[in-house]
Chain A
Amino acid sequence: MNAEQGNMTEAAQESVAVAKPEKEWVGFSLQRVGTIAENTFIEAVRQKVYNILIIFALVVIASASFFSQFTFGEQLKFIKDFCLGALSVFGMLIAIVGTALMLPNEVEKRTIYTILAKPVRRFEFLLGKYMGSALLILVSLVLMTAMFGAALVFKEHRLVSDAVQQAGSVPGVDAQHELQQQIQFIRADAYNPDLVKAVLLIFVKLALLSAITLLVSTLSTSMIFNVTVALMIMIAGHLVGTAREMWSGSALARWFLAILPDLGSFNIADDIILGNAIPWAHVGKVVLYGLVYLTCVVAAAHFIFSDREI
């Protein structure tokens, strides 16, 4: 009986063994996306992408040091205009060039083979690359905004001490009172919290430009082509606002213009520097527009990349 039992047990074991191969499954993994994103970021940093920020620093220093022959209001306007302008330009450079390089580099160096040969979905790879780029842009903006902020602080201190010096030559309580008012004005002008809204919109614009460049790079592996097309779309995007007014009649034109990204609406820096109050509701609408557009562009890139031959 024992032998029989033994046999049955063996048979039972065998049937279990045969039934065993469970279905393995590989789900969408944030760890994989994060790994690729982090790696993209580190590669860019170690390739000294951030050297470009040294030039930005020079612009900041220049705009804060020169122009002392102008009035206080003019000096602060110059700093804000030039620094935010440079922030936008260098940000666009990092966004477009940094992203344009990503896929072509991977294909050329064949690192993409080793990655996609692992159980990595193509979408995870693409998203990881994009997130890495967005992280790169974010950190660049934070650094540049910090430098810009430092310039404003420096200028504000300088102007205040200039004002104190000027008031020092005129005695009297009245002069002191006027000095206090002046200092208040300088501080309010220099530390306008709405400037944060301007930087936020610049970030969304850059993220959008990066997504567009990513889409272009899924269609072609030539870096020059990618950068050129992305630049052209960027310029076209800035003209959408003007074009809308000129062609307000034709419905077809309006539809065509709706498809292009309206990049001009992200430029509120000018208005904030002029002292206009831009409500958060408006900023929110523009951010929403940007995020939806960006998602669509990344989705389109995914569709194209999903069956791209490597």
Chain B
Amino acid sequence: MDAIRTEHLTKKYKLGWRRGRLLALDKLDLRVREGEVYGLLGPNGSGKSTTLKLILDLVAPTDGAAWIFDVPCEKVVSRLHVGFLPENPDFYRYLTGAETLEFYGRLCGMSGAPLKKRTDELLELVGLPQARDRRLAGYSKGMLQRIGLAQALIHDPKLLLLDEPTAGVDPIGSKDIRNLILRLKKMGKTVLLSSHLLAQVQDVCDRIGVLNLGKMILEGHVEQLISDQRRLSITVQDLPEAGCAKVEEAVRAAGGKLVSVEHPQTTLEALFLEALSKDERGAGEHD
């Protein structure tokens, strides 16, 4: 079954007095399979947020339709199995972390001891157990993002919609969120996330779709899309200088062409995270 299916989904926004209409989404046909992590990419204004809002029935489509697990999305019941994390989430400032989760849980029909247990579990999962009784007014952006994830998961949904889940979050938090998404995938959940932080999306998504000006211009499996099938990357270790020339010869003899010889690079992110954890370990030793 498709977790999400849209057919010819179109949205035109009215721009007020005689300024015509803005075509935000143009006949989108999208299928997100159950159990996969799908990344919806595109520049600002390409229609990513609009797509999510249409799926959640926050706005009505001008044309076309959308289904969640084969239930039309105009029906309230379609959201029984969906968790949503909006962009730059904000919550009721005067509630504490635990109160916030309990609020959302009760909206999903949960109550009493099971709700409390679930709240505790989720706070652990997103790494906020120490802030459970602090009012949200005192949370940092990263903490708000985490509590947002927690509320999206409160009723254990099968499908998660995440709008820019790592925007404005520091590298550690961002890594945590990505790990969490992978864990959710292992649990069999479906994730549709929209982002314009491409490097981060690359790590977690199975498939991606690229939107521009409301139209899907590219779609496919990440692996297939980003790997250059013609080229092969072979990593060698402890090869002396002279060995390089021999390798080049061997390649040419086999009918290929040596394109480049350089030291493999790690990513800046990996370097940063490693440096931090080394520092923490060092500090731990000194104590």
Contacts and interface: CB of A to CB of B under 8 A. Distances in A.
Given A35-B106, A117-B82, A310-B53, A47 B59 contact: no
Interface stretch (B31-39, B72-80, B204-212): B72-80
Interface residues of B, number: 35
Interface stretch (B89-97, B174-182, B194-202, B223-231): B89-97
A278 B141 CA distance: 58
B88 A26 contact: no
A114 B53 contact: no
B104 A114 contact: yes
B256 to A, nearest CB: 51
A31 B111 contact: yes
Contacts of A115: 104, 107
Nearest to A44: B94
B58 to A, nearest CB: 5
A145 to B, nearest CB: 26
A191 interface: no
B86 interface: yes
B119 interface: no
A39 B100 CA distance: 10
B84 A113 contact: yes
Given A31-B109, A42-B94, A113 B80 contact: no
Interface string A44-55: 001100000000
- Which of A43, A110, A114, A307 has the most CB atoms of chain B within a 10 A radius of its CB? A114
A114 B80 contact: no
A109 interface: yes
Given A39-B103, A119-B108, A307-B60, A110 B94 contact: no
Contacts of A110: 86, 88-90
Contact of B86 (A31, A36, A39, A114): A114
B193 interface: no
| Central interface residue in B80, B83, B85, B103, by most chain A CB within 10 Å | B103
Contacts of A47: 94
Contact of A114 (B77, B84, B94, B95): B84
B56 interface: yes
Nearest to A112: B58
A111 B80 CA distance: 18
Nearest to B135: A46
A299 interface: no
Interface string A13-31: 0000000000011100101
A136 to B, nearest CB: 14
Contacts of B86: 110, 113-114, 117
B94 A43 contact: yes
22 contacts: A24-B80, A26-B76, A26-B77, A31-B111, A32-B109, A43-B92, A43-B94, A109-B92, A110-B89, A110-B90, A113-B56, A113-B58, A114-B85, A114-B86, A114-B148, A115-B104, A117-B56, A117-B58, A117-B79, A119-B76, A119-B107, A309-B60
Given A115-B107, A120-B107, A24 B60 contact: no
A111 B59 contact: no
Contact of A111 (B58, B60, B92, B111): B92
B51 interface: no
Interface of B: 53, 56-60, 71, 76-77, 79-80, 82-86, 88-92, 94-95, 103-104, 106-109, 111, 148, 151-152, 155, 161
> Nearest 3 CB-CB pairs, A to B?
A117-B84, A46-B94, A35-B106
Contacts of B59: 309-310
A118 interface: yes
Nearest to A116: B58
Contact of A109 (B82, B90, B152): B90
A25 B58 CA distance: 20
A129 to B, nearest CB: 13
A121 interface: yes
Contacts of A32: 106-107, 109
A135 B90 CA distance: 25
Given A113-B84, A120-B107, A310-B59, A39 B79 contact: no
A114 B151 contact: yes
Given A25-B77, A31-B111, A115-B104, 11 more contacts: A29-B109, A35-B107, A36-B107, A39-B95, A42-B95, A43-B92, A109-B92, A110-B88, A118-B104, A119-B80, A119-B109
A32 B106 CA distance: 7
Contacts of A118: 79, 104, 107-108, 155
